[in-house]
Amino acid sequence: MLTEELEEKIMKKRLLSLGLAVAMAASLTACGSSGGSAETKAPAGETKAADAAGTETKAAEEAAESAGGVFKIGGIGPLTGPAAAYGIAVKNGMELAAKEINAAGGINGAQIEYNFQDDEHDPEKAINAYNTLKDWDMQMLLGTVTSKPCIAVVAESQVDNIFQITPSGSAVECISGDNAFRVCFSDPDQGKASAQYIGEHKLATKIAIIYDSSTEYSDGIRESFVAEAANQGLEIVASEAFTADSNTDFSVQLDKAKEAGAELVFLPIYYQEASVILKQASDKEFSPIFFGCDGMDGILSVENFDTSLAEGLMLLTPFSVDEEGSKDFVEAYRAAYNEEPLQFAAGAYDGMYAIKAAAEKSGITPDMSASDICDAMKAAMTEITIDGLTGTGMTWTAAGEPNKAPKAVKIENGVYVIQ
């Protein structure tokens, strides 16, 4: 065991080195063989100072490992492509939580080593990312971020009996295995909660839906929304689909919604398509209330999008930067990444703290196999309660579903305002 003085020195070195971007990059280069903590490869030609910092990081981590061991937690999500805003947010939220947990003493005295892989929102690439993480000796998985890749990966992690918690994979099948949990609401829960919110707050009675029939996420939310709409006295006056092959021209869908007298258009879709719909609706001088779900988060960051078109848009979300309880996280996130956190970042942050809580509840240690860790974690997840960014008093069922209250935000003057 290390002395208390040596452990303190190690921690100080670790916190210093983790604050240096070049050291972070250098440490991942060693990740596959010696356990670096960052996620992107260092470019060729690093300075001697950076090499020295990387060596110090490695030495500190090796000393930490000898003291209490290291838990290897993998992450998967889109860092490039049309859903990159989601994946980048999750990666950042995971990283921020990991650094905080490590600085506070880790999990059961062990540090966290994290490795995030890009799946480009593609199921096949998500499987490749998963296999890369397995080769890295991953013990637990935070991810994946979007539903189709998550469905593909959970089929693998169930067979391998590796613990998995997704911050945002909302399709029912994303947690089909008993090893899998989620932080976000499921698609059926999002659809039902959206209809209830619209009905209870009397936002509108005539509703049009524009949805992506080629994704489990969008179609699943639409289905549960329609089922609940009847209970809320909502009339579905138009329900128009598009697919991934027809997601640039929404003239037909918008015309039908307008002609049907829709007062509110429900958009259970991702933010990229939503930004196009808002632009085309404006061109048609069609201005109903637009209402989305968690996939809408990120619309204000779309490149070349006129954010004034999103004014008044509402979305169901468990997180807002304006909430009092989010203040410390938001400030830390802004300082680290120079941008506003999306709810996906908050979900990943909560996911990491759920891992910490369940790991400490179960008493797992880094020398255990991934399968033994999984068995202990899935039992402990039903026994923990956490106050997170996306909900207070959060608990989980054995089926992997979270229990927490839904919220809605409205975009006013270019920012999300909790309703």
pLDDT of residue 68: 75
pLDDT band at 64 (very low <50, low <70, confident <90, very high): very low
* In a shared domain, residues 263 and 285: yes
Query: How many CB atoms lie under 10 A from the CB of residue 111?
Result: 26
**Tally of domains in the chain:** 2
* In a shared domain, residues 279 and 208: yes
37 belongs to a structural domain: no
Q: Which residue has the higher pLDDT, 61 or 220?
A: 220
Examine the pLDDT at 195 and tell me if it is beyond 90.
Answer: yes
* In a shared domain, residues 178 and 87: yes
φ/ψ (deg, to 5) at 168? -150, 0
Domain with 132 in it:
70-185+323-405
| pTM as predicted | 0.74
pLDDT of residue 67: 54
pLDDT of residue 124: 98
* In a shared domain, residues 244 and 215: yes
Examine the pLDDT at 415 and tell me if it is beyond 50.
Answer: yes
* In a shared domain, residues 382 and 362: yes
126 belongs to a structural domain: yes
382-391 pLDDT, tens digit per residue, is 999 999 999 9
* In a shared domain, residues 307 and 337: no
Residue 169 in tokens: 């994979």
Examine the pLDDT at 355 and tell me if it is beyond 60.
Answer: yes
Which residue, 255, 282, 317, sits at the end of a domain?
A: 317
Residue 46 in tokens: 């690093």
* In a shared domain, residues 137 and 247: no
Evaluate whether 151 touches 178 at the Cβ level (below 8 Å).
no
Contacts of 89 (CB under 8 A, 6+ apart): 298, 341, 342, 344, 345, 348
pLDDT band at 8 (very low <50, low <70, confident <90, very high): very low
* In a shared domain, residues 174 and 220: no
Q: Which residue has the higher pLDDT, 297 or 305?
A: 305
* In a shared domain, residues 139 and 168: yes
The DSSP result for 342-409, as a single string, is: PHHHHHHHHHHHHHHHHHHHHT--TTS-HHHHHHHHHHHTTT--B--SS-SSBEE-TTS-EE----EE
Tell me what the pLDDT averaged over the chain comes to.
Answer: 86
213 belongs to a structural domain: yes
Examine the pLDDT at 26 and tell me if it is beyond 90.
Answer: no
pLDDT of residue 28: 31
373 belongs to a structural domain: yes
207 belongs to a structural domain: yes
- CATH number of the domain residue 292 falls in: 3.40.50.2300
* In a shared domain, residues 94 and 243: no
pLDDT of residue 298: 86
115 belongs to a structural domain: yes
Percent of the chain with pLDDT over 90: 74
41 belongs to a structural domain: no
356-371 pLDDT, tens digit per residue, is 999 999 999 999 999 9
Closest CA to 145 of 353, 388, 339, 344: 344
Which residue, 288, 317, 346, sits at the end of a domain?
A: 317
Evaluate whether 212 touches 264 at the Cβ level (below 8 Å).
no
9 belongs to a structural domain: no
Which residue, 259, 294, 317, sits at the end of a domain?
A: 317
Examine the pLDDT at 12 and tell me if it is beyond 50.
Answer: no
Examine the pLDDT at 121 and tell me if it is beyond 90.
Answer: yes
Mean pLDDT of 29-55: 35
pLDDT of residue 16: 37
pLDDT of residue 386: 95
Q: How far apart are CA 49 and CA 181, in angstroms?
A: 42
* In a shared domain, residues 206 and 107: no
pLDDT band at 62 (very low <50, low <70, confident <90, very high): low
pLDDT band at 406 (very low <50, low <70, confident <90, very high): confident
pLDDT of residue 38: 34
- Residue 301: strand, helix, or coil: helix
* In a shared domain, residues 222 and 168: no
